[in-house]
């Protein structure tokens, strides 16, 4: 790292972890990460630990020493100590935050102030697993770095290009005006994929499906480089089956539970935390654990996850009117070759033909094409970098503000 290098730190604060990365600030752009890390184990009674790597080959993992005070505050102090030790020449210019929901107000990233934070708090019920923790992270970093602009970068922004019909529910007009509509999520990841695919494939501007598969999962249909439809909607519950979230569900099930005396909190816990891979398997929300299990329920969970993915890909292909390129990303999408193979075999009717050798070799370490030579649809595995998109937005805002 050069002396005097200006840098932007991108963070993603969850319920029990902080993911962070440091990116060089070059005018209105950023480069590859100088340092990436995760501080996990921040839940009550957890054991906080930090793991990080730098662009010059330093890889460390250590448990944080016990101490008084809030675990997130201690984690932030540990992160600042790491930056001081391994990125000392860098001059921090801004903090870029991944925030799941921007609502109707924010179609682009913004510098956060009290008014913005107040509005974003009203969206917490729409993404209870993420939004409250994202915003608590903003407040944490505001206190730690009061001199730096805090930039909010929203997963919903990428999908503001969807047709009005795609954004509508078949509900009364008054509810639509109040914001009850389809928003879509994983937008930072999809923006990163769109940019990388544009560099590698001449088909990136045609009919594209991008599948972000992880603990949260969705599929996005993209045409001419913009989102035209996506599987998630009003909240981060809709669409695909996920780690502990149910995905698409007949609302009649909710009416049935309510008549049985379930209240909103119990239903929310069921839908967000007790369903998906975890609920079906009764074992784990982690696909790796299920792959290693010989329990039939684990196999059922994997098969259902695959079926729901194939079904959603078919629906979104219909919205596109065909398919030219299919891309996988996210923890499962990048690393689970068996899932990619099973899904692509069921999409053979669309001309999707996977090369088994290339598929096995794709481990998420780099962007890689895995389609067979005679496939009419290109298939790519693209490791995502949401932090770089967030940092890039912060850089553009800083340039505009002439900071």
Annotated binding-site members for substrate: 98
**Which residues are known binding-site members?**
12, 19, 98, 212-216, 286-288, 331-335, 386
The strand ranges marked E within 127-265 are: 150-154, 207-213, 217-223, 226-230
SS3 content of the chain, % helix, strand, coil (to 5): 40, 20, 40
Greatest CA separation found in the chain? 65
Residues paired with residue 99 on neighbouring β-strands, in sequence order: 154
Q: Please, are residues 49 and 61 in contact by the beta-carbon 8 Å criterion?
A: yes
Q: Is 155 a catalytic residue?
A: yes
Q: For 255, phi and psi rounded to 5 degrees? A: -60, -40
**Which residues are known binding-site members for ATP?**
19, 212-216, 286-288, 331-335
**Which residues are known binding-site members for Mg(2+)?**
12, 386
Residue tagged 């969850």 (tokens)? 14
Distance CA(151)–CA(157), nearest Å, equals: 14
- Burial readout 81-113 (b: 16 or more C-beta within 10 A, e: otherwise): ebbeebbeebebbbbbbbbbbbeeebeebbbbe
Query: Which letter does DSSP use for residue 4 in this model?
Result: T
Token pair of 188, please?
Answer: 């930072």
CA 334 to chain centre: 13
Contacts of 282 (CB under 8 A, 6+ apart): 297
Helix axes 296-320, 337-346, angle to 10 degrees: 50
155, 238, 336, 393: the active-site residue: 155
Active site residues: 155
């Amino acid at each position: 790292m050069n002396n005097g290098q200006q840098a932007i730190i991108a963070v993603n604060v969850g319920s029990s972890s902080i993911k962070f990365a440091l990116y060089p600030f070059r005018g209105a752009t950023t480069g590859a990460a100088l340092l990436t890390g995760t501080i996990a184990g921040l839940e009550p009674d957890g054991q906080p630990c930090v793991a990080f790597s730098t662009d010059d080959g330093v890889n460390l993992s250590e448990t944080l020493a016990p101490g008084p005070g809030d675990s997130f505050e201690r984690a932030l102090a540990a992160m600042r100590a790491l930056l001081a030790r391994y990125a000392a020449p860098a001059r921090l210019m801004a903090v870029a935050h991944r925030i799941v929901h921007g609502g109707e107000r924010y179609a682009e990233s913004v510098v956060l102030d009290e008014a913005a934070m107040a509005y974003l708090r009203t969206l917490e019920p729409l993404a209870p697993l993420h939004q409250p923790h994202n915003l608590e992270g903003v407040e944490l970093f505001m206190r730690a770095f009061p001199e730096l602009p805090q930039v909010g970068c929203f997963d919903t922004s990428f999908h503001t290009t969807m047709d009005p019909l795609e954004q509508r529910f078949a509900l009364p007009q008054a509810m639509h005006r109040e914001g009850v509509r389809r928003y879509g999520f994983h937008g930072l990841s999809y923006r990163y994929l769109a940019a990388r695919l544009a560099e590698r494939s001449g088909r990136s501007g045609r009919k594209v499906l991008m599948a972000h598969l992880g603990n949260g999962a969705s599929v996005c249909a993209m045409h001419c480089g913009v989102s035209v439809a996506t599987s998630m909607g009003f909240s981060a519950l809709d669409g695909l089956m996920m780690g502990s979230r149910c995905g698409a569900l007949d609302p009649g099930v909710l009416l049935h539970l309510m008549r049985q005396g379930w209240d909103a909190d119990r239903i929310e816990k069921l839908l967000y935390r007790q369903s998906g891979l975890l609920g079906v398997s009764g074992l784990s929300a982690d696909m790796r654990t299920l792959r290693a299990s010989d329990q039939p329920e684990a196999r059922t969970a994997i098969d259902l996850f695959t079926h729901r993915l194939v079904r959603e890909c078919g629906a979104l292909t219909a919205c596109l009117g065909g398919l030219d390129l299919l891309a996988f990303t996210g923890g499962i999408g990048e690393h689970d070759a068996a899932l990619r193979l099973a899904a692509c075999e069921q999409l053979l009717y669309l001309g999707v033909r996977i090369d088994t050798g290339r598929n096995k070799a794709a481990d998420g370490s780099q962007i890689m094409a895995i389609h067979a030579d005679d496939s009419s649809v290109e298939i790519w595995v693209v490791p995502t970098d949401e932090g770089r998109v967030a940092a890039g937005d912060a850089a553009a805002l800083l340039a505009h503000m002439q900071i």
